Amino acid sequence: MPSTKRSKIAILTGGILVAIVVLGYFTFFYPPQSAQDTSGTIGGVKKYRSSQIEDKDVKLGQEGSSTSTDNSSQNAESQTAAAQTAQTAQAAQTAQTAQAAQAAQAAQAAQAAQAAQTAQAAQTAQAAQTAQAAQTAQAAQKSQTAQAAQKSQTAQAAQKSQTAQAAQAAQKSQTAQAAQKSQTAQAAQAAQKAQTAQTAQTAAGPK
């Protein structure tokens, strides 16, 4: 996932650099200027001085018409060259605009992809947090259930112990009562025997 993101960023950066280079070339270096166009930019200023018209410069008849025809041809060629230059410049500008639009579209696509990846990462993180919270709640519930069961078992064991102690106490009480009844019966028998002996002695009288 990070390597794919880095490769996309590298491709986007390379496209932007290429677009900047092309834009700079067509802005500053296109169309190329000839030496004649740049000769007047450096050095001393050359003043324009027109020469005087002489007799040889004036031509009549066919010579004048041929000269005007040559001038018209030169003007037509100059216009054609200027039109071609303008057309080339327009084509370059169109290509430059198309490249800029493609670069902008690629940048928007990269931003959209990055936003989608960020949203997916956030969604994954939220899902993980939700799952962790659910697991924590389940663990707490299990712990509470185990504690409640342990308390219930402890209470049952205490109740059983109390019941056993009560049963032992009742058994001891019954044993004590039984022993007391036995002693009372023995005492009654002894008293009865003593009375019987006294009665027999009284009945015999003195000899």
Residue-by-residue pLDDT tens, the chain, 207 positions: 567 888 889 899 999 999 999 888 888 776 666 555 555 544 544 545 555 566 555 555 444 455 556 667 777 777 887 788 888 888 888 888 888 888 888 888 888 888 888 898 999 999 999 999 999 999 999 999 999 999 999 999 999 999 999 999 999 999 999 999 999 989 999 998 888 888 888 887 665
Q: Distance from CA of residue 18 to its chain's centroid? A: 32
pTM above 0.85, yes or no: no
Q: What is the pLDDT of residue 64?
A: 46
Q: Domain boundaries in the chain?
A: 1-24+91-102
What is the C-alpha to C-alpha distance for residues 205 and 200, in angstroms, rounded to an integer? Answer: 9
pLDDT at 41: 47
